[in-house]
Structure 1
């Protein structure tokens, strides 16, 4: 019987395959038209392919039923006017058009479309767009590595998986999660291209799950459109992708500091006691986050109140002012659900701000927290109503916003949103629209402020609304920790560079100090430093064992020392879309072995990080990229690039290395970023004989005013060093823009791996004293009062 079943399946597969081939061969090429300098329209028997060159590296492809059909507007992509001009080449059986980089080759008979980069094939349509459904497929190379699809825990190479495009929370996940809060319709390939399927409706992304070298995108409805971006390097691909979908605004400096958070603080007294404990232990702190108890004494039945519970928070204004006076910001959780038991239920119904059912009434249904309706963030009236709540809380003293459950966590299919939009049409963009509501109102009403918007779900392009995503309710376990670098690295390559985790893990009551410390040590080198967990076991270091507390304190202090480096990473992300956490393959894009590695990564350009992800691990296998030699950040031991090495682990830190030729700035340790100054910083230079010259720059502004860079209210410190036979010359340029007043007057320099004691050191022609010990040269209190400073070191 089983034999007959297998034969039947085989026959069905053959029939299905034959049908597909016949369908593809039945598509006939008819004609083409060049609509403008950068757009070509190709007519087929099935419909029209429109190819629009957005720049030399980006191509938008749309499939239209009619040549004059309107193209649906995009929720993610904003296409600016292109200055590209193409010249189609026509032969008897081919039509070709391209920029210097990306190109299209259309074969007329049998009809086929191929996409090229600098003449080399990237991929080709297998059957093209479907006429009766939103579906398109591609033929991919047999050994091609496929990544993307948003936040998942599947390994870096996600080929072989069919990924649902439906944002959904996964409580307590560990090493594997096929569906999470950010399901982005994006694929990027080891062949150095990125595909963005520009349609937010629910669907699927099949990355060759049938192992027949086929990539398939399907959606429930909406536009038949994608963007293809290709370049020689990943930096250019990311910059071009975010030119289309938007770049993340530079966040306030305090967001790079330490947060106190748990589920949750039950009272004003408990919150103030926790902050006081941080001050007592002298552990730096910049923000405290209030989970849902701020608006209700109970978990059940209070969601939607969105007002401080006076019994437990009798004077929130005074509390938040006291915190602010200490340099500590208050962040409040908010949810989009309005329970029928909420104090605001009648108000929300009368204001007509809730998602409706088919009868036109507020649609109610049951979920974990009670009987509820959903705030319709697509409705202009609801947006204004919701924003006025935020504005009122801001007036009371709140500084940042946490948007939870925004998938939305429960979102029945029968719900009808503003404009008669069905739930499946807007489900994936609900979180993004929510962030947009807050971000744009800040731009309109508080244009000088940089909002903090922590969100659990969203869609491609959400970064342009300042969204800070996190990886959801990860299990408090080693398995939970092990998946975190992969999730952040993948999301950074898809534009959302601030993806981070609940440090220490969220779900469960495991008390494991080693796991906790290793997670917080990893957190130094991930975008947002926010320990958070269920309250059964403390998330805050001040309530852990003495040993765990001291090790956590050391990690947090390093985080604060790295503020000048990390703030420059944030600046680079806001201007060029470079992720803060970068996969190794960005360093060696043609080394296919590196596409599978997430357990070692780059933090910015100059740190190589290999977190400890296993219990009692004494040796860690680390790959050192071939582009440079690398130095142990703590011992200064040198490692040759282009090799794997087993390194001894240390209790006090995770394996951390610095690129040869790099300058690493270390600030003084402050208890809050409010006390930070871009002054008295120690710049460590890592000398390597193979690096004859190197240069680095570091950005600084007031850390809080929006558009400081655009408004010329910033400074940059530029370093350029060159080594000659008898002398090394360091040029320091201090660039201060017209609308900025600097505090910088002196810095300190340390030259690591400096082979011998110098004969002399001169600064701007004057000989100065120096210290030399253990192959390190120390130059203290170098004046930066002048625009340019020259340091000459005679060997």
Structure 2
């Protein structure tokens, strides 16, 4: 039994009182205690609990929270109103309701009044007033109605996958993840907003169908963070400050990765890569499913599940093969792993003997025996909450894979999919004591799994960045280098539409790296649909917003196609993937911003335009950074699409036509242009976007060519507007593989556009910083997207460049410029990183 907090047992339950310490406000009413900390001007930490479960000092935090070192603001003596520079917190000492008000502007407005309906353990219930906040985002991954792009949680109920929380649920001929990430964002008029992070790891139900809103959950106490902020960007950044920002993935993860269930041998991997290269697709690696360790034995103790040892009959000499893939072909390998261990494996005996498996009761009790859903076999389950055991497993089994040269880890079934509800775990500190039951662990299981990988890299002093592709997780998983995918989704466009909608909420929940099985995992779900159309539409969406970009399907029969060189509109597939590779410098720079500042990479439009009512429920259009819009499509027979453009001047990324918008719809725009399928994409004027020049010879994202050389010519594109303007984009570069960028081993280059009445100047500033392996200079081409003005001259560092009259002449030249309508191309050969490089165009 947990000890009551100091003095509470001496006080009568018949009256209320307030007790202030240096940093915690506390008041008691009846059997309940309210605790409040003012952590920042716009961050309030609140706990409602029964006496025996209340925190005795600072409010407890769960393993989801990274930062619990705030120096809380002092609490003034007396009174029941607490204030920061931006928020006022008013306490009703009888009901323990807390009203939070934004006081930055007059008139001030109430964010919400939060009231505990129940603080009884495992029957926790919180209600909070709607006020004027009608648009709601976040709360993780829940695929809603098939084909629906509703874009908003208002008027809905967010329910868990099952009574435990995270779970794969059937939908549309497949199964998709229900992943709980308990952060919700609320929008009112204009720029009014607030957010709430519920620091609770049990299954939660959120009800937004009436006023007040309600949230029900389990556990010992209600603990929430209330966040204010200037806008959604500020709120999301504050949330990630609490739970951790995502590290930058290895650069190769921004390319194309092949996968299926599954490659039976190195020979099959070779065939897939050879087909792609023959069709002139760039590709960066392959994921290996269960076959790499010998596969599974359904219903049998004698399964290979959990061995994490290569099947050297079909995958011989793994270290040499992985080295060869990397050095000769520029490819990476990522193998799958699961949390289950077949009972007849030596791994089972070792882990059971040491007490590192999930058990029936405290050690030396026997491990649980999982046999109720024996598709993978029968056996035990790794206990990742046992930190010593998790470390042992990593060093004993996973460490060898890292030494073999794998680029990352694919963690599957971590909801967890199969479990014993009566199991005993080493446990987690949730609230006032360590909890050992499965309910206590369920939604944290994959977080601890990811943590064991990330900390294993650090403990063993690897410079290589850990990358994890996981099927589940929760708040905080992102800080370990974890990307999520939506599970075994069915192969139809209605499932793709639901996934597009879910991505909106995953982005707001802090997961920049979220994707899907391109083309769907279960092809039977196609049910007579057009497989080629489905695949190319899916590929286009994933190439725009998924990291990693990974085709995957169930192919045990070796009778289904998953490669973009084999299914769909192949010519369109090639151009879709090349566009993704071309935008890599832009995407990679956004990844650095996500790590350093907590900015979203692929947010919904409302994230940047929340004062525009036209985007509040718009789920199918995504931002890429803050100045590029892509309209995703998931509709059978679609040949065109409408696009909403916020106020401003926008340029079509494909044909460079201009659109002046007051906040309105344009189009419809064709999805096929010159026979190639392209999603409508727009760039705001004044934008500068760094790109690679991608051609038939580009083999991977590092610019590998058939000659064995690596060459990536940089193309800096400046989108001119109407009239004077100045803008800047910072491009980030590093070695692409190590964690050294976290210690400032990176290069940052400001790309500055200045537009005047009769000229425009693009400055590629002196690069700041350095990293191992960087070159002193690089070939840089520039392109200005103009209004069609006739250009009279182009200069580079005040030197007039020669004009060419055809693209062929321009391409052959080392220096010069060429105008093609509203596109002006200019190049000056190798640019030194240590120089400030100016390219100026002047028109009549």
The alignment's TM-score, normalised by the length of structure 2, stands at: 0.85
1:364-396 CA deviation, whole Å, 9 max, x = no partner? 121232222211111134213320211112223
SS of residue paired to 2:264: coil
Aligned to 2:541: 522
Q: 5 Å matches for 1:385-404?
A: 385-387=392-394, 388-404=396-412
Q: What is the rounded CA distance, in whole Å, between the counterparts of 2:827 and 2:771 in structure 1?
A: 29
Q: 5 Å matches for 1:282-293?
A: 282-293=280-291
> Among 586, 592, 596, which residue is 2:607 paired with?
586
Q: What is the rounded CA distance, in whole Å, between the counterparts of 2:461 and 2:88 in structure 1?
A: 44
Q: 5 Å matches for 1:500-519?
A: 500-509=515-524, 510=526, 512-519=531-538
Across the aligned residues of Structure 1 and Structure 2, the Cα RMSD in angstroms comes to 2.6
Q: What is the rounded CA distance, in whole Å, between the counterparts of 1:767 and 1:29 in structure 2?
A: 85
Once structures 1 and 2 are overlaid, which stretch shifts more, 781-790 or 243-252?
A: 781-790
Aligned to 2:807: none
Q: What is the rounded CA distance, in whole Å, between the counterparts of 2:465 and 2:266 in structure 1?
A: 26
> Among 65, 72, 87, which residue is 1:102 paired with?
87
Aligned to 1:649: 671
1:453-472 CA deviation, whole Å, 9 max, x = no partner? 11111111111111111111
Q: What is the rounded CA distance, in whole Å, between the counterparts of 2:40 and 2:14 in structure 1?
A: 29
Aligned to 1:3: none
Aligned to 1:427: 442
Task: Evaluate the alpha carbon distance shift between residue 365 and residue 728 of structure 1 in structure 2; reply closer, same or farther with a 3 A threshold.
Answer: closer
> Among 309, 315, 318, which residue is 1:316 paired with?
318
1:515-544 CA deviation, whole Å, 9 max, x = no partner? 101111112211321111111522112333
Q: What is the rounded CA distance, in whole Å, between the counterparts of 2:83 and 2:478 in structure 1?
A: 30
Residue 136 of structure 2 is aligned to residue 152 of structure 1 = no
Runs of at least 5 residues in structure 2 that lack an aligned partner in the other structure: 1-11, 145-149, 428-434, 705-709, 803-816
Tell me if the contact between 2:724 and 2:757 (Cα under 8 Å) persists in the aligned partners: no
SS of residue paired to 2:570: helix
> Among 348, 364, 367, which residue is 1:362 paired with?
367
Report deviation, 1:629: 1.7
Q: 5 Å matches for 1:514-663?
A: 514-526=533-545, 527-535=547-555, 536-544=559-567, 548-626=569-647, 628-641=648-661, 642-645=663-666, 646-650=668-672, 651-663=676-688
Task: Evaluate the alpha carbon distance shift between residue 658 and residue 54 of structure 1 in structure 2; reply closer, same or farther with a 3 A threshold.
Answer: same
Report deviation, 1:492: 1.3
Tell me if the contact between 1:471 and 1:487 (Cα under 8 Å) persists in the aligned partners: no
SS of residue paired to 1:698: strand
Q: What is the rounded CA distance, in whole Å, between the counterparts of 2:297 and 2:659 in structure 1?
A: 52
The alignment's TM-score, normalised by the length of structure 1, stands at: 0.90
Residue 481 of structure 2 is aligned to residue 466 of structure 1 = yes
Report deviation, 1:712: 2.6
> Among 108, 111, 131, which residue is 1:122 paired with?
111
Once structures 1 and 2 are overlaid, which stretch shifts more, 520-529 or 453-462?
A: 520-529
Q: 5 Å matches for 1:175-190?
A: 180-190=177-187
Aligned to 2:835: 787
Residue 768 of structure 2 is aligned to residue 736 of structure 1 = yes
Tell me if the contact between 2:286 and 2:332 (Cα under 8 Å) persists in the aligned partners: yes
Q: What is the rounded CA distance, in whole Å, between the counterparts of 1:690 and 1:357 in structure 2?
A: 72
1:730-787 CA deviation, whole Å, 9 max, x = no partner? 3331223155644433411111124312333333322223322212222112653243
Q: What is the rounded CA distance, in whole Å, between the counterparts of 1:237 and 1:358 in structure 2?
A: 42
Q: What is the rounded CA distance, in whole Å, between the counterparts of 1:501 and 1:794 in structure 2?
A: 46
Q: What is the rounded CA distance, in whole Å, between the counterparts of 1:343 and 1:68 in structure 2?
A: 44
Aligned to 2:508: 493
SS of residue paired to 1:484: helix
Q: What is the rounded CA distance, in whole Å, between the counterparts of 1:640 and 1:728 in structure 2?
A: 20
Aligned to 2:746: 714
Q: What is the rounded CA distance, in whole Å, between the counterparts of 1:718 and 1:72 in structure 2?
A: 43
Q: How many residues align?
A: 758
Q: What is the rounded CA distance, in whole Å, between the counterparts of 2:184 and 2:38 in structure 1?
A: 19
Aligned to 1:22: none
Residue 695 of structure 2 is aligned to residue 673 of structure 1 = no
Q: 5 Å matches for 1:258-297?
A: 258-297=256-295
Q: What is the rounded CA distance, in whole Å, between the counterparts of 1:787 and 1:507 in structure 2?
A: 53
Q: What is the rounded CA distance, in whole Å, between the counterparts of 1:175 and 1:488 in structure 2?
A: 20
Report deviation, 1:110: 6.9
Aligned to 2:16: 30
Aligned to 1:237: 235
Task: Evaluate the alpha carbon distance shift between residue 140 and residue 730 of structure 1 in structure 2; reply closer, same or farther with a 3 A threshold.
Answer: same
Residue 78 of structure 2 is aligned to residue 77 of structure 1 = no
SS of residue paired to 1:644: strand
Once structures 1 and 2 are overlaid, which stretch shifts more, 50-59 or 236-245?
A: 50-59
Task: Evaluate the alpha carbon distance shift between residue 688 and residue 678 of structure 1 in structure 2; reply closer, same or farther with a 3 A threshold.
Answer: farther
Q: What is the rounded CA distance, in whole Å, between the counterparts of 2:653 and 2:511 in structure 1?
A: 28
SS of residue paired to 1:433: helix
Once structures 1 and 2 are overlaid, which stretch shifts more, 556-565 or 166-175?
A: 166-175
Q: What is the rounded CA distance, in whole Å, between the counterparts of 2:634 and 2:376 in structure 1?
A: 34
Q: What is the rounded CA distance, in whole Å, between the counterparts of 1:476 and 1:253 in structure 2?
A: 29
Report deviation, 1:652: 2.3
SS of residue paired to 2:311: coil
Q: What is the rounded CA distance, in whole Å, between the counterparts of 2:15 and 2:442 in structure 1?
A: 37
